Amino acid sequence: MSTAGRDWGEDAPERFYVITRGHTQPAGRAALDLVTLIVSRAEPTPSMPPEHAAILRLCGSPLSVAEISAYLRLPVSAVTVLLADLVAEERVEARASVPPALLPDRALLEAVMHGLQRL
């Protein structure tokens, strides 16, 4: 394996932060991936479907679509449909997975390497 690129800079996480800012999808247009992070922006109400309420309760802290599927024991495609409604109603925020067009971006890879080295 080549040793090129071993000397990535110490500023990687900050540069990564710049990359991800501004990539949060506008409501209703979110392309939901397995690793899109979902965060509640509303409280559950008695009148909403139980699945919607369950998602709002789960996502007080950010959770990926895959994790929501696992905790609710629902298939990913079913969860995606529920989330699309909640995103459209602006009851949840979808933090998009890093857009594929940016991949593999060196600043992103540097950030991942930094993080893994602490593991």
Partner 1 sequence: MDFSASDTVRGPADEDLLPDSAAAAVKVVVVGGFGVGKTTLVGAVSEIRPLTTEETMTQAGADVDDLAGIERKSETTVAMDFGRISISDELVLYLFGTPGQERFWFLWNGLFEGALGAVVLVDTRRLEVSFDVIGRLEDRGVPFVVAANAFPGAPAHPDEELRLALDLPPEVPIVACDARVRESGRDVLLALMHYLYDLAGSRAAR
Binding site for partner 1 (CB under 8 A): 1-2, 4-6, 8, 13, 16-17, 20-21, 23-24, 33-37, 39, 50-51, 54, 57-58, 61-64, 66-67, 69-78, 95-100, 103-106, 108-117, 119
In angstroms, give the least distance from the CB of 83 to partner 1: 13
* Cβ–Cβ under 8 Å, residues 17 and 110: no
Nearest to partner 1 of 72, 89 (CB atom): 72
* CA dist., res. 3 & res. 50, Å (int): 53
* CA dist., res. 93 & res. 67, Å (int): 16
In angstroms, give the least distance from the CB of 61 to partner 1: 4
In angstroms, give the least distance from the CB of 33 to partner 1: 6
In angstroms, give the least distance from the CB of 1 to partner 1: 5
Nearest to partner 1 of 78, 88 (CB atom): 78
Nearest to partner 1 of 67, 89 (CB atom): 67
What backbone torsions phi and psi does residue 101 show, to the nearest 5 degrees? Answer: -60, -25
Nearest to partner 1 of 26, 117 (CB atom): 117
Question: DSSP state, 107?
Answer: H
* CA dist., res. 83 & res. 30, Å (int): 10
Q: At what angle do helices 12-20 and 106-117 cross, to 10 degrees?
A: 130
